[in-house]
């Protein structure tokens, strides 16, 4: 009985540790471009997309392995706690889908006057709320179906602030 209880406690601790935001620092060796990213694995999705990943880097926000996304018409809704719903649709503004359909991304917008990349107002507000919230609910809808999952936001402020500006 003690072994079963100890195993359950270890399993729960392991799940809690995996449900925290992580920061990975990396630099492209050819271009010296900073490819660091902050991310967290979600939970509660439908099989086979049970544990999608939500991440942020210096160039985009991204969702991996949440549903087979389509180039035009994948709709993503993101809600922090019980607040405003942020909506993105592939094929519009800076939202797009990877060629293999496994990733949904929203890029920063180029500012031609000072040659920088900046978040649009909606995405900047989303990132600010991620750093303040306790959990995020993400819903992805395509012609193939709907998947909804949650992402804990514990540690998101430190991880996102670690990204170089």
What percentage of the chain exceeds 70 in pLDDT?
86
CATH code of residue 56: 2.60.40.1880
- Lowest mean per-residue pLDDT among 42-46, 69-73, 91-95, 113-117: 113-117
Please state the domain count of the chain.
1
The neighbour count for residue 151, using CB atoms within 10 Å, is 26
Domain that holds residue 121: 2-161
pLDDT of 137 strictly over 90? yes
Alpha helices in the chain (DSSP H): 2-18, 121-132, 156-161
What is the pLDDT at residue 144?
Answer: 79
pLDDT of 31 strictly over 90? no
CA distance 144 to 40: 25
- In our burial notation (b when 16+ CB lie closer than 10 A, e otherwise), range 106-123 reads bbbeeeeeeeeeebeeeb
pLDDT, one tens digit per residue, over 102-130 is: 888 898 887 777 767 788 888 999 999 99
Q: What is the mean pLDDT of residues 6-12?
A: 40
Q: What pTM, to 2 d.p., does this model score?
A: 0.79
């Amino acid at each position: 009985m003690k072994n079963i209880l100890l195993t359950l406690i270890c399993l729960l601790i392991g799940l809690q540790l995996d449900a925290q935001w992580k920061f990975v620092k990396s630099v492209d060796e050819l271009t010296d471009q900073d490819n660091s990213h902050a991310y967290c694995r979600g939970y509660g999705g439908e099989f086979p997309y049970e544990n999608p990943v939500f991440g942020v880097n210096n160039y985009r926000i991204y969702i991996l392995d949440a549903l087979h996304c389509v180039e035009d018409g994948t709709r993503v809704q993101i809600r922090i706690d019980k607040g405003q719903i942020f909506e993105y649709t592939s094929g519009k503004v800076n939202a797009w889908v990877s060629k293999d359909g496994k990733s949904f991304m929203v890029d920063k917008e180029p500012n031609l006057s000072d040659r920088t990349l900046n978040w649009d107002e909606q995405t900047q507000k989303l990132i600010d709320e991620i750093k303040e919230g306790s959990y995020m609910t993400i819903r992805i809808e395509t012609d193939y179906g709907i998947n909804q999952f949650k992402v804990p936001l514990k540690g998101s402020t430190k991880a996102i602030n670690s990204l170089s500006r």
